[in-house]
Amino acid sequence: MSNKEEILKKYRANVRERFDMPDLSDIHATVYSDPLAQFISMTKSVGGKAIEVEPGSDVNALIKELFPDAKEIASNLPLITCATRNPDTVGQACDLNGTDVGVIRGCFGVAENGCVWIPQQMKEKAVCFISENLVILLPKSQIVNNMHEAYRRLSERDPKSGIDLFDTYGYGTFISGPSKTADIAQVLVMGAQAARSVTVLLMPE
C-alpha cells in the first residue's frame, strides 16, 4: 500500500458522518455557438496567445519567429526538430533550468476559461513550469465548452490503450495563460511560479 493510500485509509476510518454527493443534473453549464472563437478570446483575456496554424505550415519556423532570441528550446515531440533539450533524456529536472521555450502537447482546451489539459507526456514534467515561455500544441477540433465537459473527458478511457487521460505517468494539470500572482501589494506579476508567456498553437487536423 502506498503512502497516499495509507493516509486516505486513515481518513476514511475516522469519518463520523457521511453525506450523499449532491445532484448536479440540474446544472446548466454554458454552451457556446463557436467554442473555438470563445477559447481564443478567453486565452487572450488571461494573458496568453492562441494562434491558428494553417495547414502545411512549418511549426518550427513559427516557433523561431515567435521567439527569435530563444537559445534553449525543450521538447520531446518528434515534430519539434528545433529543440535543443529533451525532457525525456535529461538526467534530472534541474537540467531544464534555463529553458527559454518549452514545447508540449495539449489534450483538449476549455472554451469558458481558456485552459488546456496537459497530461504528463514526458519524463520530467518540470518543462511545463520551468520554461520562460511555454508553447502548447493543441488540435483545434479538441475544444470543449466548459469545465463540466472537461471533467467528463477526464473520466473517459482511451479505447485503444485502456488508460485514462492522465496518461502513463498518472499526473496532469490544467494550464490557462502565463503564471501570474497579485498576492503581494496587489501588484500583478507575470511568471511568478511558472512560464512568463503561454502561446497555444491551434493545429489543423
Cβ–Cβ under 8 Å, residues 104 and 118: yes
CA 96 to chain CA centroid, nearest Å: 18
In the three-class reduction of DSSP (H, G, I as helix; E, B as strand; rest coil), residue 85 is classed as: strand
How far CA 73 is from CA of 42, 48, 57, 65, 70, in Å, comes to 26, 19, 19, 13, 7
Q: Would strands 180-181 and 189-190 be described as parallel, antiparallel, or unpaired?
A: antiparallel
pLDDT digits (tens, 9 = 90+) for 9-53: 888 888 888 888 888 777 778 999 999 999 999 999 999 999 999
CB-CB neighbours of 195 under 10 Å: 25
Going by C-alpha positions, the residue among 67, 68, 85 that lies closest to residue 76 is: 85
CA–CA separation, 195 and 52 (whole Å): 21
169 has pLDDT over 90? no
Going by C-alpha positions, the residue among 142, 131, 116, 113 that lies closest to residue 46 is: 113
Instruction: Look at 27-31, 64-68, 80-84, 96-100 and tell me which has the smallest mean pLDDT.
Output: 27-31
In the three-class reduction of DSSP (H, G, I as helix; E, B as strand; rest coil), residue 83 is classed as: coil
Report the pLDDT value the prediction gives residue 18, as an integer from 0 to 100: 82
Report the pLDDT value the prediction gives residue 34, as an integer from 0 to 100: 97
Higher-confidence position of 139 and 194: 139
> Where residue 94 falls among pLDDT bands split at 50, 70, 90?
very high
pLDDT digits (tens, 9 = 90+) for 50-64: 999 999 999 999 999
Report the pLDDT value the prediction gives residue 181, as an integer from 0 to 100: 80
Question: In the chain, what are the domains?
Answer: 30-203 (3.40.50.10420)
CA–CA separation, 166 and 76 (whole Å): 17
**For residue 134, what is its C-alpha cell?**
511555454
**For residue 44, what is its C-alpha cell?**
487572450
CA–CA separation, 200 and 140 (whole Å): 10
Cβ–Cβ under 8 Å, residues 148 and 110: no
Report the pLDDT value the prediction gives residue 164, as an integer from 0 to 100: 59
Report the pLDDT value the prediction gives residue 184, as an integer from 0 to 100: 77
Report the pLDDT value the prediction gives residue 115, as an integer from 0 to 100: 96
pLDDT digits (tens, 9 = 90+) for 100-158: 999 999 999 999 999 999 999 899 999 999 999 999 999 999 999 999 999 888 877 65
Q: Is 151 left (phi over 0), alpha (psi -120 to 50) or beta?
A: alpha
pTM: 0.84
80 has pLDDT over 80? yes
